[in-house]
Structure 1
Amino acid sequence: MPSDPDVLVVGAGVSGLTTGYRLAQQGLRVRIRAEDAPGHTNSAAAGAIWDPIYAEHPRVGVWAARSYDVFSEMHEKGFPGVRLVDGIEASRDPMITPDWARGLPGYRECEPGDLPAGFVHGWHYRAPIIDMPPYLAHLEQLVRETGSTLEYGGHLDSLTEADAPILINCSGAGAHDLVPDPEVTPIRGQLVAVRNPGMTDFFAEHTPELGEMVYLLPQGDTVLLGGSAEPGIADPAPDPAVATAIIERCGNIFAWIRDAEVVGHRGGIRPSRPKIRLEHEEADGRHVVHNYGHSGAGVSLSWGCAEDVTDIVLGLLGRERKQDRAE
């Protein structure tokens, strides 16, 4: 492709790759620039069950619903890493089932006998669960097949260093320094991977905010155990003490976990912000479209946000949207 892109995307995590792909599908010349390749981003460490509750923006519901639809299409087409999985989300406190859950495939309220000890309310539904390493690898391949350019390894100190007429900022936690945006704060999350004894359904504890919780996400031969949330910690390296606490919390509910073989650890940084920033601004004589601050819902909102960014860019260029595809 020509050396000068129509659009430069900063960041190659799930938001950057997804947005770059949607833009390229519209015939735009896209370049993605990032410090780390997708497999080494924080996105690669995510447990990645579709769950839209840990982010704030008036359009969260729209973005989540669109992403659910795209992941469902991907599942049907055998997109690597994407599966629809039945399971339970449950609360230790009495509550009303949230509206976002009621319309999902497989939805029904749990009977008391469906719930583990200590939980008093819950609901069944079917959710996309994404195995992020193969998912990101295939999405990266699709981006390359559009003729887009991906450049890894270069560090940006400021968005002013990125040269393009339209810049898409998908820098995640890096937006704190890159924009700069002091409202972005890091929250370290951690997972423990154990050998799967045959578990097929997921279990997720419903909590009003990110914190110490319990979830089990089956990923083929392994089950990912979570979770944790450590505000202010920007080092993604897993902490052995946190891993031990995760295993203990999960084992107190599902006894088989106490003897499960640990096969790996994951750590990553969630880009927390009081409100997702998805908007256009003009800065230094060019257009900047921001798409960051998704906290714990980056994967869950990725396709909806990417399509809103694409609509903004097409509007700036005076173009009409062509039909998108899931792959």
Structure 2
Amino acid sequence: MAINTGDMDVAVIGGGVIGLTSAIALAEDGHRVRVVSRDAVDGTTSAVAGGLCWPYRIRPYERAVQWSVRSFHALTALAQRPEETGARMVTGTMTDTTHGGGDDARQCPGDRPDDDLAAWYDAVPGLRRASAEELPEGHAAGWRARTPLVDMPAHLRYLERRLTAAGGTVERHEVTSPAEAGRTADVVVNCSGLGARELVPDPDVHPVQGQLVIVDNPGIEEWYVSADAGSAETTYVLPQPYGVVLGGTARENVWSREPDPAVAEAIVARCARRFPELAGARIRAHKVGLRPARPAVRLAVERLPDGTPCVHNYGHGGAGVTVSWGCADEVLRSVRALREGAGPLGR
């Protein structure tokens, strides 16, 4: 298919946070954009996410931090209108129980001057090392920061409204391949998340199961996370308008979406060790999400069999909202390059 020299018809596959931010960037740049999604926003993996803006379980590290910094600033601006956007600025503590060692530890706080997240630490205003008095027993290091914390269901609805206001549309149906979506488009943007495993197909895409519990808020105002990157168990407490999100798990290649009662009990117990008042909080809901993981995010352009360009943007693991706007910027740059006839192609 020949590329138009003017604004283009773009089909975006996927209606989660990655797909919607990519679609908004394109629509606000003047392109004709339609999002194709099997699920309504409340049924996407993004809707289950805790919503803390912080790089987690995502590679490559250097690019992920760049994307995260861009998203941090975008979400900070949106947090000026929390009721509209679902984004708020909330202070909290990120701790590390391992404190160094191994490649995966690079996603957690540490003292190494070559830490891969150094640019992230520098970019977050007011971020500082937690004092010993501010850390729970058994934690060797940590950070105190004020970061965006996003009510994801509300945020996704805001993104849909913003897309519509920019002239974009959303269609609710399933596609079987990028080529199918590209039959009536100049460019396809593939933000299918875990679905890319079958849609592309890409066998490197796999789930990292996350289970969480939502409870009534007994008065907690700050977020708290203790998440060793290589562990199947994490501890996080995220106060949201609809209750406190307690987590969690990070189980590689587990496909079940059914909450496990024993796991839920363990999650509450871990969180209650940090905030004892959570032990008696009324449980409002149990949820399970499948993070769309990959050895590295795939953000690249390739040609479909009929020649239509496809910008792949998937494999963001546990950092979808954290990198969403940064990745959307790259998608926009790729589409602009294609329009100008200089689009890079890669795998």
Structure-1-length-normalised TM-score: 0.92
TM-superposed deviation, 1:155: 2.1
> What secondary structure does 1:105 align onto?
coil
Partner of 2:72: 68
Pairing 1:255–2:242 present: no
Q: Which of 84, 89, 94 matches 2:89?
A: 84
> What secondary structure does 1:200 align onto?
coil
Partner of 1:323: none
Aligned length: 316
- What is the letter of the counterpart of residue 123 of structure 1? W
CA distance in 1, matches of 2:47, 2:77: 21
CA distance in 2, matches of 1:187, 1:111: 32
Partner of 2:327: 305
> What secondary structure does 1:73 align onto?
helix
CA distance in 2, matches of 1:210, 1:50: 20
Q: 1:94 to 1:83 in 2, by over 3 A?
A: same
Partner of 2:252: 231
CA distance in 2, matches of 1:247, 1:239: 13
TM-superposed deviation, 1:210: 5.4
CA distance in 1, matches of 2:202, 2:98: 36
Partner of 1:161: 180
TM-superposed deviation, 1:121: 1.3
Deviations along 1:24-45, one digit per CA (max 9) or x if unpaired, are 0001000110110111101000
Q: 1:20 to 1:108 in 2, by over 3 A?
A: same
Pairing 1:101–2:101 present: no
> What secondary structure does 1:183 align onto?
coil
CA distance in 1, matches of 2:122, 2:276: 30
Instruction: Structure 2 unaligned segments of length 5 or more: list them.
Output: 1-6, 101-109, 112-116, 342-347
> What secondary structure does 1:233 align onto?
coil
TM-superposed deviation, 1:140: 0.5
Deviations along 1:267-309, one digit per CA (max 9) or x if unpaired, are 1110110000000111211100000000001110000000100
CA distance in 2, matches of 1:47, 1:208: 16
CA distance in 1, matches of 2:180, 2:242: 44
CA distance in 2, matches of 1:291, 1:103: 24
Partner of 1:275: 296
Pairwise mapping of residues 192-203 of structure 1 onto structure 2 (< 5 A)?
A: 192-203=213-224
Deviations along 1:116-137, one digit per CA (max 9) or x if unpaired, are 1221211101111110011101
Contact 1:237/1:268 (CA < 8 Å) preserved in 2?
no
> What secondary structure does 2:65 align onto?
helix
Pairing 1:129–2:134 present: no
Pairing 1:21–2:24 present: yes
CA distance in 2, matches of 1:103, 1:271: 26
TM-superposed deviation, 1:138: 1.1
Partner of 1:315: 337
TM-superposed deviation, 1:241: 2.5
Q: 1:119 to 1:143 in 2, by over 3 A?
A: same
Q: 1:273 to 1:68 in 2, by over 3 A?
A: same
Contact 1:169/1:288 (CA < 8 Å) preserved in 2?
yes
> What secondary structure does 2:204 align onto?
coil
Q: 1:316 to 1:229 in 2, by over 3 A?
A: same
Pairwise mapping of residues 162-181 of structure 1 onto structure 2 (< 5 A)?
A: 162=181, 163=183, 164-181=185-202
Partner of 2:264: 243
- What is the letter of the counterpart of residue 92 of structure 1? T
> What secondary structure does 2:89 align onto?
strand
Q: Which of 139, 148, 151 matches 1:119?
A: 139
Partner of 1:324: none
Structure-2-length-normalised TM-score: 0.87
> What secondary structure does 1:48 align onto?
coil
TM-superposed deviation, 1:221: 5.1
Partner of 2:317: 295
- What is the letter of the counterpart of residue 244 of structure 2? V
Q: Identity rate of aligned residues, in percent?
A: 40
Contact 1:86/1:106 (CA < 8 Å) preserved in 2?
no
> What secondary structure does 1:208 align onto?
coil
CA distance in 2, matches of 1:211, 1:300: 21
> What secondary structure does 1:116 align onto?
coil
> What secondary structure does 1:197 align onto?
coil
Contact 1:191/1:265 (CA < 8 Å) preserved in 2?
yes
CA distance in 2, matches of 1:210, 1:35: 32
- What is the letter of the counterpart of residue 244 of structure 1? E
Q: 1:25 to 1:250 in 2, by over 3 A?
A: same
